[in-house]
């Protein structure tokens, strides 16, 4: 037997409870999607970093490079290193 005085209260509390529960699960879905997107970004960065190869210069090439810098009076910008020279002079004139 239903109590006619509490039927409206029970239905409104149930509606509030269901709406809060649904908002909680929707929030979890948004958080999961956001984490998935950041995982994809990390995977893309890892793939890019794995495809980049580094090359070490031999001691002989370093000596030739230092002599070439001294003789040709090439200036290396502040904070740049030998990588700057490799980009600016891809034909490596210090080896000739």
pLDDT at 62: 84
Q: Are both 4 and 49 inside the same structural domain?
A: yes
Q: Are both 1 and 47 inside the same structural domain?
A: yes
Tens place of pLDDT for every residue, the chain, 96 residues?
A: 577 666 666 777 888 888 999 999 999 998 888 877 666 666 666 666 555 555 677 888 888 888 888 888 888 888 877 778 878 877 778 777
Q: Are both 63 and 83 inside the same structural domain?
A: yes
CA 35 to centroid of chain Cα atoms: 13
Token pair belonging to 23? 């908002």
Domain ranges, residue 44:
1-53
Q: Does the global pTM surpass 0.85? A: no
Q: Are both 67 and 39 inside the same structural domain?
A: no
Q: Are both 47 and 74 inside the same structural domain?
A: no
Q: Are both 7 and 23 inside the same structural domain?
A: yes
Instruction: Look at the chain and report how many structural domains it folds into.
Output: 2
Q: List Cα–Cα distances, 80 to 44, 48, 67, in angstroms.
A: 27, 22, 18
pLDDT at 70: 86
Q: Are both 38 and 73 inside the same structural domain?
A: no
């Amino acid at each position: 037997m239903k109590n006619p005085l509490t039927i409206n209260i029970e239905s409104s509390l149930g509606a509030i409870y269901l709406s809060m529960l649904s908002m909680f699960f929707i929030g979890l879905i948004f958080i999961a999607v956001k984490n998935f997107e950041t995982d994809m970004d990390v995977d893309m960065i890892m793939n890019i970093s794995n495809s980049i190869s580094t090359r070490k210069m031999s001691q002989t090439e370093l000596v030739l490079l230092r002599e070439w810098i001294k003789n040709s009076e090439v200036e290396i910008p502040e904070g740049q290193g030998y990588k700057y020279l490799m980009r600016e002079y891809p034909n490596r004139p210090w080896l000739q």
